[in-house]
Amino acid sequence: MNRKTEGADLLRALCLEFGPSGCEDRVADLIKENIEGSYDELVPDKMGAVIALIRGNGKSDKKVMLSAHMDEIGFMVREIREDGLICFSSMMGPDTRIMAGRRVTVGMPDRLNRGVIAMKPVHTVDRGDRDKAAPVDELYIDIGASSKEEAEKYVKIGDFGTFESDFVQFGENGRLLKAKALDDRLGCALMIETMRKIYANKDKLAYDVYFAFTCREELGMGGARCASHKIRPDYALVFEATAVADIYGVPEISRVATRGEGGAVSIIDKGTIYDKELVELVIGVAREKDIPCQIKKYVSGGNDASHIQRAADGVKCAAISAPCGYIHTASDVIAVSDYEAMCDLAVAVLERIDKNA
């Protein structure tokens, strides 16, 4: 079946696919289908990344790497109780308020099952604990099994899972988009669309470009470490999603970025100090081309750049992130215009690096 798509349809296909950290195979297969005919070579990767090379015309020996991660937040099955409920370990962070009552998909890529995350009803919780988030040890996954024996027909200890969530465009003219896994299937979609545009005019590229769809970012960014050591790029552009906190009640000083004002360019975060010249080039290209772009205003988070920057003898890095509301939940929300602006900026920056390479 041909699953090649573009725009919102491409985002939908990628976001709805199952791919928590360590289970990126289905996402990788979908990406390979969508980049077919838009690269010169696939570079083998033992960690499971998809690395596609577009060769330049040989006028420069520089190498540029574009990076986005395929994996999404998730959890792992650690015990199946006698009553059929499933205990799990979370890869979603410490805040369990985003979990209770959510629909989930659990199993492995070849045998996925639907379920919900269950917890005690509020009237059975001690009054002193009712305003506290339940610890993950008090949450369970209910797949509809009435016993351990029945549950084990479908789920095994060590299986993975993630949220199940609809893909929805809403707001005036569908300006906002809600889905799971926009962190970072958005970056993957952007790179696919960039590859298609760049490959059509690759004879104008002076240098080789590597598009690295990395794995395991949500659990330590090991995929990016291996990919960047293999590629040994001179420049790297990382495409991500970032928290925004652009809602009522959050002080202006604590806001990271604003949806609808373009991709957020990082100066520094918890893992990386970005290359000043490359950051200035990105911002300068955006202004010259009249592409919406903003500065990430708050020092927070991190991404694959923290490992890419340290690869081999060092890599000049820049990161451009889509402002994303409610990130790391079942309902990530972005502005469609930000995605479109980031796609335009990716192509424009590659053209400019070409001239400076």
Residue 220: what pLDDT? 66
For the segment 156-168, the average pLDDT, to the nearest whole number, is 96
Structure tokens at 236: 């790297």
Q: At residue 1, does pLDDT exceed 80? A: no
Q: Give CA–CA dist 90/93, Å, rounded.
A: 7
Q: At residue 141, does pLDDT exceed 70? A: yes
Q: Last residue of a domain, which of 163, 192, 209?
A: 163
Query: What is the DSSP code string of 122-191?
Result: GGGS-GGGTTSPPPGGG-EEE-S-SSHHHHTTT--TT-EEEE----EEESGGG-EEEES-HHHHHHHHHH
Does 107 share its domain with 50?
no
Q: Is residue 122 part of a domain?
A: yes
Q: At residue 246, does pLDDT exceed 70? A: no
Q: At residue 126, does pLDDT exceed 70? A: no
Residue 58: what pLDDT? 87
Does 208 share its domain with 349?
yes
Does 198 share its domain with 241?
yes
* Amino acid (1-letter code) at residue 141: I
Average pLDDT, the chain: 90
Q: Give CA–CA dist 4/31, Å, rounded.
A: 9
Helices (H) and strands (E) in the chain, counts: 8, 17
Does 188 share its domain with 158?
no
Does 92 share its domain with 203?
no
Q: At residue 123, does pLDDT exceed 50? A: no
Count of domains forming the chain: 2
Give the pLDDT band of residue 132 (cuts 50, 70, 90): low
The per-residue pLDDT for range 62-101, each reduced to its tens digit, is: 999 999 999 999 999 999 999 999 999 988 766 777 888 8
Does 275 share its domain with 155?
no
Which CATH number fits the domain that encloses residue 115?
Answer: 2.40.30.40
| Ordered alpha helix ranges (H), 178-217 | 182-200
Q: Last residue of a domain, which of 163, 195, 215?
A: 163
Q: Give CA–CA dist 243/255, Å, rounded.
A: 9
For the segment 266-282, the average pLDDT, to the nearest whole number, is 93
- 78 close to 88: Cβ distance less than 8 angstroms: yes
Q: Last residue of a domain, which of 163, 197, 215?
A: 163
Q: Give CA–CA dist 153/111, Å, rounded.
A: 10
Q: Is residue 117 part of a domain?
A: yes
- The beta-strand segments (E) located in 197-243 are 208-214, 235-243
Does 146 share its domain with 222?
no
Q: At residue 144, does pLDDT exceed 90? A: yes
Does 120 share its domain with 82?
yes
Does 209 share its domain with 305?
yes
Structure tokens at 160: 């993975």
Which CATH number fits the domain that encloses residue 50?
Answer: 3.40.630.10
**Tally of residues, the chain:** 357
Structure tokens at 119: 């917890």
For the segment 33-60, the average pLDDT, to the nearest whole number, is 94
Q: At residue 234, does pLDDT exceed 60? A: yes
Does residue 184 have a cis bond before it (omega within 30 degrees)? yes
Does 79 share its domain with 159?
yes
Half-sphere exposure of 354 toward its Cβ, with a 13 Å CA cutoff? Answer: 21
Q: At residue 3, does pLDDT exceed 60? A: yes
Residue range(s) defining the domain that contains residue 288: 7-72+180-356
Residue 275: what pLDDT? 95
Give the pLDDT band of residue 256 (cuts 50, 70, 90): confident
Q: Give CA–CA dist 107/95, Å, rounded.
A: 23
- 242 close to 301: Cβ distance less than 8 angstroms: yes
As annotated, the active-site residues are 217
Residue listed under structure tokens 């195979």: 25
Adjacency order of strands within the sheet including 168-170: 168-170, 176-179, 332-335
Q: Give CA–CA dist 219/47, Å, rounded.
A: 13
The per-residue pLDDT for range 296-315, each reduced to its tens digit, is: 987 877 888 899 999 888 99
Q: What radius of gyration do the chain's Cα atoms show?
A: 21
The per-residue pLDDT for range 170-184, each reduced to its tens digit, is: 999 999 999 999 999
Determine what percent of the chain is predicted with pLDDT higher than 90. 68
Does 231 share its domain with 340?
yes
Q: Which residues pair with 178 in a beta bridge?
A: 168, 333
Does 154 share its domain with 199?
no
Q: Is residue 222 part of a domain?
A: yes
Interacting residues of 274 by C-beta distance below 8 A, sequence separation 6+ = 266, 267, 268, 305, 317, 318, 319
The per-residue pLDDT for range 187-224, each reduced to its tens digit, is: 999 999 999 999 998 998 999 999 999 998 877 657 78
Give the pLDDT band of residue 137 (cuts 50, 70, 90): confident
Q: Is residue 173 part of a domain?
A: no
Q: Is residue 118 part of a domain?
A: yes
